Chains A and B, each alone.
Chain A
């Protein structure tokens, strides 16, 4: 079945690439078949703990490559397949009529590689497939390849992911040298318990994976890719591609018995900072895509909190902590995949219908696009972890791992967990602001700009509605997902089944409480219905303290909604300014500056060419029209990463004189290099 799913996907991708018209259909069908196959092969490892394996014989350097579908792989495989299937339908619906056959082909090939990377048990094979996943993701990001911003972020993503791989290559090479084996299972002896070699290896693995997963301060590549890609692709990146490094990290954790304490604590610190920083940035963004991409990073941080509590539990020998931590992590991986995909789909739907995703231009869409609005509301409620939606279940377990009481705990363990719980509470409250803002500004109120918004075709709405339904159903009946995560949680924590059943018990109570919650809603609705049955409801203008002439421009804006909070946390969010549409005193347009360009976004009016010579008083007379706007920038992206990149540029500029542009000079360099090698080898012979 495993081979069938891969073969069908490759064939589907090839058909999509060859045939123009049937590309979408071929891709959707191939993904559907692959989904069925993957579900089928995931049953034995998850329910019977029976691991199917496949062996591939390759040429000399690789040797035999093992593919195994253990419960961890199976869990990720199911999540990824489900998201791929839903996205493929959505992609089919939102793709304009233009010829995009390669896009569908790349989509199918990405699915193949995701299956491979999740199942391969060979370390080098893992690295290769991981890199190929990055490469195909870049191809998919480049959908809108003519836009400079898209090109820039795709290249940035590619480079950042490669740099992350460097950290992974080093420990894997060390391990291969030490064991002479490429299989992950062979590294168990070296990684299992505390030794001289375990700590640096784990540090490198951790660094590599958190780099790739996009923990702060390494998040900028992911956020720029997520906000520039087509929303369907962003959904895939957010729900599947970013989770692959997390899978890698969990795979390494299955090989260890315990980790050094400082690694667990450092990771906890990183995760908490990631969640807090990302959610703070999410609530300052002015574009829905940006909000969602920062939210993705915040969710990765929350997952990280769960993983680090699991590690702490292992290190201190507290099985309950380990179990709750990893249960929360697995729940969150599934749930965040579902709700982030829903949110990105809704964002794509808004973007396709109105042509923009900027908060300041949208408004009142709930009347014209009700299905999208309800789906986005569901996703928002899930992302804010509000009951009775699925986000609550997973964050509930992560909270539980933070507040649950254990006998004879150390002070450091208790304090760090209580503080992490308080930080997580802040994250929850802040993401509530971000999503109240996003939903409130985009979908409620009155339209802010002139455009006609219509609901999109059903092929886009059905996947979205399906995922929203999953959000609600998993929130109320978490049992099916709990069944999925049982065996992988056992594999990760090394704790037996009975303890696990005990740890999962609160899920049933939560589901009961959520169910009663729903009953309350229906009861009150029924009461209201009975009360209002014989009365007439009158419609009137919005009451605005007696002011009659309410216009759409009087609505509260996205920026003013969060202004009080941003003023409080000013140092974290840097302020940037930009200007566009600058007119000369004579009235003819002299310079339309490109606000797409990040450097220009940072520049103030005075630095804009053509304006600098204007005197100050010109601003106050109608000859000059400057559309000026301020925005909040990602502190890390613009100051930390920006300065590091500038430093690199300066360093490389030192060697710029080598590159003269004359062929003769380059041949001369080659000659010198060969001579140097010749001399060295002669020297060694002597």
Chain B
């Protein structure tokens, strides 16, 4: 762990709050309003941290410890994510397995908080969270495992290093950076363009599901049948609510960083790469904001189709991998 990786890690966490503000801003502007300041989510979190707590009389130590454990899991998962073309704080063989399972741990803890209060609404949200995640997780694994096989590397940092470095293994990098530098060159490597595009689409769908955004769930709603994530924090207040909110916005930032990791070229200087990273993260926030402005929430019975769609796209990547190997 160097000072630089630590800085990048903290930048990712700060950007999480910024992205949340950005999404709200985009939605407001699209609706013709001026919107809250960009750092409003930051003020909200500070406000919640300054409050005292109200807890349900049926709740137990699960409710007291749960939010902490969930945030710690997400922070631990964040350690293995390489930020903006740099290295991650920790990188080891198979670190993406740790990433997925640490996120799963966060899910476990936030879901049992919802069940702890003994109400009916928490259970509803809990049921949806675990179901949707169970459907999207295989897609994510197929993408990551295929990328690992394509690049011949076994950790996030190494995979991205191969993807981003021009003139390294497989010629994939030239194709990918070419996507943005030289489109013509990219099309000449179309069989490698496909995994990159599909991978990004699946990651985007993964973000929308894991973070409970539209079209899977509307985070702004308070109507009971529409809620997924809102239901989990129904009986959480004060610092614990701040921690839960942080957990959910850091998740968006983590997964978005994974998308930018495929895009930021490594041959730019570290400072440029950071600026590019911030720019791309804002781009993703704007995209999420636009999706939330333009799309309606899916009917709950159609959400599984959306998630199976993600698996379908992931299988395309696998098919490309297999065809590539046969050559």
A432→B104 contact, CB < 8 A: yes
A659 contacts chain B at the CB level, 8 A cutoff: no
Q: Decide: A404 near B154, CB < 8 A? Known: A396-B94, A418-B318, A524-B72.
A: yes
Q: Which residues in chain A, 408-443, are within 8 Å of chain B measured between CB atoms?
A: 409-411, 414-415, 417-419, 421-426, 428-430, 432-433, 435-436, 439-441, 443
| Known contacts A415-B322, A524-B243; is-contact A513 B98 (Cβ 8 Å) | yes
Q: Which of B19-27, B142-150, B182-190, B277-285 contacts A (4 or more CB under 8 A)?
A: B142-150
Contact yes or no, B55 A436, CB < 8 A: no
Chain A residues, Cβ within 8 Å of B59: 542
CB within 8 Å for A540 and B56 given contacts A396-B94, A422-B145, A517-B102: yes
A446 in contact (CB, < 8 A): yes
Cross-interface CB contact of A440 among B101, B115, B318, B325, cutoff 8 Å: B115
Could you say which residues of chain B place their CB within 8 Å of the CB of A417? 145
- Decide: A418 and B101 in contact? CB cutoff 8 A: no
Interface with A: B73-81, B171-179, B212-220, which one? Answer: B73-81
Given contacts A436-B115, A545-B224, contact A524 B68 (CB under 8 A): yes
Contact partner of B94 among A407, A506, A543, CB < 8 A?
A506
Contact with B along A390-406 (1 / 0, CB 8 A): 00100110011011110
Within 8 Å of chain A (Cβ to Cβ): is B239? yes
With beta carbons under 8 angstroms apart, the residue of B94, B117, B142, B321 that contacts A404 is B94
Pair B127/A421 contact, Cβ less than 8 Å: no
B54 to A537, Cβ gap below 8 A? yes
Q: How far is the CB of B121 from chain A (nearest CB, A)?
A: 6
- A residues in contact with B141, CB < 8 Å: 421-422, 424-425
List residues of chain B with CB within 8 A of the CB of A433: 130-131, 134
> Within B152-172, which residues are at the interface with A (CB < 8 Å)?
152-154
Tell me the nearest residue of chain A to B92, going by C-beta: A509
Do A403 and B322 contact each other (CB < 8 Å), given the known contacts A386-B108, A441-B115? Answer: no
Task: Say which size band chain A's interface belongs to.
Answer: 35 or more
- Please give, as numbers and ranges, the residues of chain B lying within 8 Å of A544 by CB-CB distance: 119-121
Residues facing A in B249-279 (CB within 8 A) are: none
Across the two chains, which residue of chain A brings its CB closest to B51? A535
Within A540-569, which residues are at the interface with B (CB < 8 Å)?
540-545, 550, 552, 554-557, 560-565, 568
**Complex Cα gap A384–B108 (Å):** 9
Q: Give chain B nearest CB distance to A448 CB in angstroms.
A: 10
CA distance A545 to B154 in the complex (A): 47
- Cross-interface CB contact of A513 among B80, B111, B135, B142, cutoff 8 Å: B80
Q: Which residues of B contact A364 (CB under 8 A)?
A: 58, 60, 118
Q: Which residues from chain A contact B234 at a C-beta distance below 8 Å?
A: 543
CB of B95 within 8 Å of the partner chain: yes
* B52 near A550: Cβ-Cβ < 8 Å: no
Chain B residue at minimal CB-CB distance from A514? B76
Is the pair A555, B134 in contact by a Cβ cutoff of 8 Å?
no
- Is B47 interfacial (CB 8 A cutoff)? no
| Residue numbers in A under 8 Å from B148 (CB-CB) | 403-405
Instruction: State which residues 47-101 of B face A: CB under 8 Å.
Output: 49, 51-62, 65, 68-69, 71-73, 75-76, 79-80, 90, 92-95, 97-98, 100-101
Interface centre among B49, B104, B321 (most CB of A within 10 A): B104
Instruction: Tell me whether A439 and B112 are in contact (CB under 8 A).
Output: yes
Does B18 interact with chain A (Cβ within 8 Å)?
Answer: no
Which residues of A sit under 8 angstroms from B72, Cβ to Cβ?
Answer: 517, 520-521, 523-524
User: Is there an interface contact between A403 and B154, defined as CB atoms closer than 8 Å?
Assistant: yes
Interface flag for B195 (CB, 8 Å) = no
Which A residues between 469 and 508 are near B, CB-CB below 8 angstroms?
A: 505-506
Please state if B137 and A426 are interface contacts (CB–CB under 8 Å): yes
Is B309 located at the chain interface by the 8 A CB criterion?
no
A685 at the interface (CB under 8 A from B): no
Residues 313 to 327 of chain B near chain A (Cβ within 8 Å): 314, 318, 321-322, 325-326
Task: Name the residue in B111, B122, B131, B153 with the highest tally of chain A Cβ atoms < 10 Å from its Cβ.
Answer: B131
Whole-angstrom CA separation of A137 from B164 in the bound complex? 58
Q: Does any Cβ of A come within 8 Å of B304's Cβ?
A: yes
| Inter-subunit contact A528/B76 (CB<8 Å) | no
The answer to the question of A450 belonging to the interface, with a C-beta cut-off of 8 Å to chain B, is no
Q: Does A400 contact B112, Cβ atoms closer than 8 Å?
A: no
Judged by DSSP, the binding face of A is: helix
Nearest chain-A residue to B133 (Cβ)? Answer: A429
Contacts of B115 in A (CB 8 A): 436, 440-441, 444-445, 556
Cβ-defined contact, B322 with A554, below 8 A: no
Given contacts A430-B134, A510-B92, contact A387 B98 (CB under 8 A): yes
Cβ of B235 under 8 Å from chain A: yes
A647-668 contact mask (Cβ, 8 Å, vs B): 1 or 0? 0000000000000000000000
CB of B123 within 8 Å of the partner chain:
yes
Q: Are B140 and A425 in contact (CB under 8 A)?
A: yes
Contact residues in B for A537 (Cβ distance below 8 Å): 52-55
Q: Give A505's nearest chain B residue, CB to CB.
A: B93
Min C-beta distance of B202 to chain A, whole Å: 12
B90 engages A539 (CB within 8 Å): no
Determine if B60 and A440 form an interchain contact, defined as CB atoms under 8 angstroms apart: no
Q: Which residues of A contact B124 (CB under 8 A)?
A: 556
A411, A436, A512, A552: the one contacting B130 at CB < 8 Å is: A436
Inter-subunit contact A538/B54 (CB<8 Å): yes
Hey, which chain B residues are within 8 Å of A400, CB to CB? 93-94, 97, 154
- What A residues does B304 contact at CB under 8 A? 568
Please name all residues of chain A whose beta carbon is closer than 8 Å to the beta carbon of B55 when the two chains form the complex. Answer: 537-540
B297 at the interface (CB under 8 A from A): no
Are A528 and B52 touching (Cβ within 8 A)? Answer: no
Does A516 reach chain B (CB closer than 8 Å)? yes
Q: Are B92 and A506 in contact (CB under 8 A)?
A: yes
Minimum CB–CB distance from B327 to chain A (whole Å) comes to 10
Question: Nearest CB to that of A444 among chain B residues?
Answer: B116
A385 at interface (Cβ–Cβ under 8 A)?
yes
B60 A366 Cβ-Cβ under 8 A:
yes
Contact check, A538 vs B118: say whether CB atoms are below 8 A apart.
no
Given known A-B contacts A384-B108, A425-B100, A506-B94, A552 and B140 have beta carbons under 8 A apart: no
In the bound complex, residues from chain A placing their C-beta under 8 Å from that of B100 are: 425
**Closest residue on chain B to residue A370 by CB atoms:** B61
A422 contacts B138, C-beta separation under 8 Å = yes
Is A56's beta carbon under 8 Å from chain B?
Answer: no
The reply to whether B56 and A411 form a contact with Cβ atoms under 8 Å apart is no
A439 surroundings in chain B (CB, below 8 A): 112
* Chain B neighbourhood of A613, CB < 8 A: none
- Nearest A residue to B240 by beta-carbon distance? A528
Report, nearest first, the 6 A-B pairs whose CB atoms are least far apart: A556-B123, A509-B92, A440-B115, A535-B52, A429-B134, A520-B72
Offer 11 A-B interface pairs, CB within 8 angstroms, sorted by A: A364-B60, A384-B104, A386-B104, A409-B149, A429-B104, A513-B79, A513-B90, A520-B71, A524-B72, A532-B238, A540-B57
10 more CB-based (< 8 A) A-B contacts, given A385-B101, A445-B115: A364-B118, A404-B154, A418-B321, A505-B92, A517-B72, A542-B57, A545-B224, A556-B122, A561-B127, A568-B131
